[in-house]
Amino acid sequence: MAELTFEINEPLDMHLHLRDADMLKLVGPLTSKTFSGALIMPNLVPPITTKEALLSYKQRIKEACKDDKFEPYVTLFFKNDYSYEFLSDVKNDIIGIKLYPAGITTNSETGVASMDVEVLRPTLESMSKLGIPLCIHGETNGFVMDREKEFMPIYESIAKSFPDLKIIMEHITTKDAIELLDKYDNLFATVTLHHLIITLDDVAGGMLNPHLFCKPIAKRPEDRSALLNAALKAHPKLMFGSDSAPHPKHKKECCGCAAGVFTSPIALQVLTELFEKHNALDKLNAFVSLNAQRIYNLSLEKKTIKLVKKDFVVPAIYGYKNENVVPMYAGETISWSVESIN
């Protein structure tokens, strides 16, 4: 009996952390091998806020990913005082600008202190006129389970104030965000692999699993169900964005555990497993590629990932020099493998 196979064309990861230096050299190829492109987060230390830093970082990514058929779509770290002239000059070098509320996640200490629309207006008006998308980490500093829900009125305020501004709600985790998605024409969203699979119970319901601790934190079963239902239907305003966030093993398995789930090496295999389980493989290409191409108006070089239903044992750890990262499902067996890349 022939093995079951499935092909994904031009897969895109529209929310990815690649870090820098040796960590970039480790994790970059683990995405570029199987993905056609990825939207790269700018929260380095210091954050990416100048054209020089942006272009330099993009070059380092390309060097790390070597000869893979892969396009890093780079972003700027949001600032209130970007001038129209500056944004006009850098527009063709970026895919969007990422807004972090100050201190809400890793390396966001210099993020936006006030989410008042009038405070944000100078940069947002220029972005709107120039057609530069706004990507937002949508959380308040309230009770951890309510932070995304509490942010919904801020999304609405920006969407209403700037109807021509394309706004991406990043790594959504709640049914509230899914419901908001259809309320405004200029609202879109990404969702991660892990938020389609886990709830808070998987993180802290038994023995604490630090490798599943992330921000935004995993939510309730009803939230996961809403996210999964939208993904399995390839909701036209929803894109795959892994938020794969590598941290050294010693910074995850410690007091003060860093937030982030590392999924890049197994993302396509597990997505295929998940969509097959729910009889939705016919929707996977739209979720992981076509929606993002349309929303961001991307043109990609042909790249086909052929997967086969064959057991794959996930490595316990990925390492390069002094960097060691533990992936989701470390040491476990998943039911799909990558057979070829063309």
Q: Which residues are catalytic?
A: 243
Token pair, residue 83, equals 């001038």
What one-character-per-residue DSSP string does 141-153 give? SS-TTTHHHHHHH
Of 273, 296, 299, give the one whose Cα is nearest residue 284: 273
Distance, CA of 44 to CA of 55 (rounded, Å): 14
On whether the CB atoms of residues 13 and 267 are closer than 8 A, the answer is: yes
Query: What's the half-sphere exposure (Cβ side, CA atoms, 13 Å) at 256?
Result: 3
CA gyration radius, the chain: 19
Q: Are strands 337-341 and 312-313 parallel, antiparallel or unpaired?
A: unpaired
| Cis upstream peptide for 221 (omega within 30°) | no
Which residues on adjacent β-strands are paired with residue 98?
77, 135
